[in-house]
């Protein structure tokens, strides 16, 4: 337990170790620690940013979905309206066509009636003439009495 | 495990004797054979075991930390050893940062100094947990008579480190405060009156000198006392030794860490007060 040169030896060793530690051990370790700290902080930051982005994207997606639903509903409604309109038009057309057909049939019938009347009239005239011929027992000059007969026919 | 032909007193004395190499008045530069010769060498002697083990521990510390520092990258997941080293570094860094609060800037020396003090002293102390007869036994087989393994049980080692710290206290006091500021601080605290300057000077210089002495003696005293207890336990019959040895060793796991920590914290505190301007 004597105090001797060991004292100075230990002091020198101490100084050298501290110098070495300061020069070659401490700075790289502290730098690595700080860099990792920064990296972790950045990572956490990025994660929270990504979360926010995701939220935003979801919101956007919801918005788009809502819009497209609305549009679809609109289109459907228009289609309904259009189909109703088309049915209405078709019905109208059918009605008009039917009326037109009825009118033409009616006019045709009228014509038929008229023609039948004419025919009848002509036949009646001839019958009348024939009857008259028979009654008179003499032939009538057809040319001479044509006017008279026609007048008779019209009166029928 | 005292041999039959050695008395207890001889056994204890043998264990507390350093391997001394020095200038003997009669034998010249030689290794001392016994405490008597070592004492006769006076100041011009060196404890080979103290220096050897402490330097070995220092090299292990720096080698280990340097290896980790080389492979330490911010990317990638740190492994076990790197985690441990980084934990120690962060712990020391935190301690230094919390102690050095205030306007004065901290010298880049302080934190590495604290780390060196802490780990180096811890490793030197931890040699104590090796059973006390193992290493001396091995060296006795190799023909080395004396081997006191734990460097911090040698006051030379603890005072050596404390003197290093003391030099830094003086250096930073002059550097930060200037010669005038330092002299003023010594002369006018705690009593700010010209008539009390001698008294202040006496108090402050004493306080300054007590710092390294308390540092060195605290570490030395704790380690030396622990070592003596271990030696005393080793004198008991071998089948009962473990009942005392095991609890004492477990307790010393705490003591060696605590003493290393205390030495580091006090070093930082002393240097911090050396940085402060009054």
Give tens-digit pLDDT for B223-237: 999 999 998 898 888
CB B109 within 8 A of CB B268: no
CB B86 within 8 A of CB B255: no
**B89 contacts on A by Cβ (under 8 Å):** 26, 29-30, 33
Supply φ then ψ for residue B129, to 5 degrees.
Answer: -75, -10
Q: How far apart are CA B215 and CA B162, in angstroms?
A: 6
B93 shares contact with chain A (CB less than 8 Å): yes
Q: How far apart are CA B236 and CA A8, in angstroms?
A: 37
Q: How far apart are CA A8 and CA B100, in angstroms?
A: 29
Nearest of A27, A17, A32 to residue B71 by alpha carbon: A32
Q: How far apart are CA B25 and CA B40, in angstroms?
A: 7
How would you write A80-95 as a 3-class SS string?
HHHHHHHHHHHHHHHH
DSSP string, B132-187: TTHHHHHHHHTT-------GGGSHHHHHHHHHHHHHHHHHHHHHHHHHHHHHHHHH
ipTM of the complex in this document:
0.86
Tokens linked to B101: 């609060």
pTM as predicted:
0.74
B214 flagged as catalytic? yes
CB B23 within 8 A of CB B32: no
Given A2, A15, A36, which is nearest B39 (Cβ)? A2
Question: What is the arithmetic mean of pLDDT over A50-67?
Answer: 96
Q: Provide residues of A within 8 Å CB-CB of chain B.
A: 1-11, 13-15, 17-18, 20-22, 24-26, 28-30, 32-33, 35-36, 38-39
Q: How far apart are CA A14 and CA A49, in angstroms?
A: 50
Residue entry with tokens 């040169």: A5
| Average pLDDT over all residues of chain B | 86
Neighbours of A3 (CB within 10 A): 13
For A80-129, what is each residue's pLDDT tens digit? 999 999 999 999 999 999 999 999 999 999 999 999 998 888 888 888 88
Q: How far apart are CA A70 and CA A20, in angstroms?
A: 74
**B84 contacts on A by Cβ (under 8 Å):** none
Tell me what pLDDT residue B82 has: 84
Nearest of A92, A45, A21, A7 to residue B117 by alpha carbon: A21
Q: Are strands B45-47 and B20-24 parallel, antiparallel or unpaired?
A: antiparallel
Tell me what pLDDT residue B1 has: 42
pLDDT at A62 over 60: yes
pLDDT at B48 over 80: yes
What is the Cα B249 distance to its own chain's centre?
Answer: 19
DSSP type of residue A24 = I
What is the Cα A123 distance to its own chain's centre?
Answer: 68
Tell me what pLDDT residue B2 has: 41
Lowest mean pLDDT among A20-24, A112-116, B23-27: B23-27
């Amino acid at each position: 337990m004597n105090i001797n040169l060991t004292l100075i030896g230990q002091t020198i060793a101490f100084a050298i170790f501290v110098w070495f530690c300061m020069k070659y051990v401490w700075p790289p370790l502290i730098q690595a620690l700080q860099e990792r700290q920064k990296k972790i902080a950045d990572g956490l930051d990025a994660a929270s940013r990504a979360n926010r982005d995701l939220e935003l994207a979801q919101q956007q997606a919801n918005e788009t979905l809502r819009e497209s639903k609305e549009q679809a509903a609109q289109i459907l409604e228009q289609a309904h309206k259009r189909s109703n309109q088309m049915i209405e038009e078709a019905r109208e057309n059918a009605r008009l066509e039917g009326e037109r057909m009825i009118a033409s049939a009616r006019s045709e019938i009228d014509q038929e009636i008229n023609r039948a009347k004419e025919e009848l009239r002509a036949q009646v005239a001839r019958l009348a003439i024939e009857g008259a011929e028979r009654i008179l027992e003499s032939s009538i000059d057809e040319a001479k009495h044509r006017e008279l007969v026609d007048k008779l026919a019209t009166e029928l | 495990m005292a041999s039959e032909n050695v008395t207890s007193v001889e056994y204890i004395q043998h264990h507390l004797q350093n391997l001394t190499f020095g200038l003997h008045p009669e034998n010249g530069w030689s290794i001392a054979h016994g405490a008597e010769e070592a004492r006769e060498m006076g100041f011009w002697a060196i404890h080979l075991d103290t220096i050897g083990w402490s330097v070995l521990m220092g090299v292990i510390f720096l080698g280990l930390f340097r290896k980790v520092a080389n492979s330490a990258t911010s990317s990638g997941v740190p492994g076990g050893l790197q985690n441990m080293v980084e934990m120690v570094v962060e712990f020391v860094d935190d301690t230094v940062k919390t102690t050095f609060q205030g306007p004065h800037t901290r010298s880049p020396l302080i934190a590495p100094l604290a780390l060196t003090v802490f780990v180096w002293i811890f490793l030197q102390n931890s040699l104590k947990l090796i059973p006390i007869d193992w290493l001396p036994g091995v060296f006795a087989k190799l023909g080395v008579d004396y081997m006191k393994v734990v460097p911090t049980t040698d006051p030379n080692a603890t005072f050596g480190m404390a003197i290093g710290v003391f030099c830094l206290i003086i250096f930073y006091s002059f550097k930060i405060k200037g010669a005038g500021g330092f002299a003023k601080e010594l002369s006018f605290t705690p009593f700010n009156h010209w008539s009390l300057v001698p008294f202040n000077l006496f108090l402050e210089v004493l306080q300054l000198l007590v710092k390294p002495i308390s540092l060195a003696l605290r570490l030395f005293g704790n380690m030396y006392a622990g070592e003596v207890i271990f030696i005393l336990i080793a004198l008991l019959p071998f089948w009962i030794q473990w009942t005392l040895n095991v609890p004492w060793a477990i307790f010393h796991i705490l003591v060696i860490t605590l003493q290393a920590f205390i030495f580091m914290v006090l070093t930082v505190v002393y240097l911090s007060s050396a940085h402060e301007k009054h």
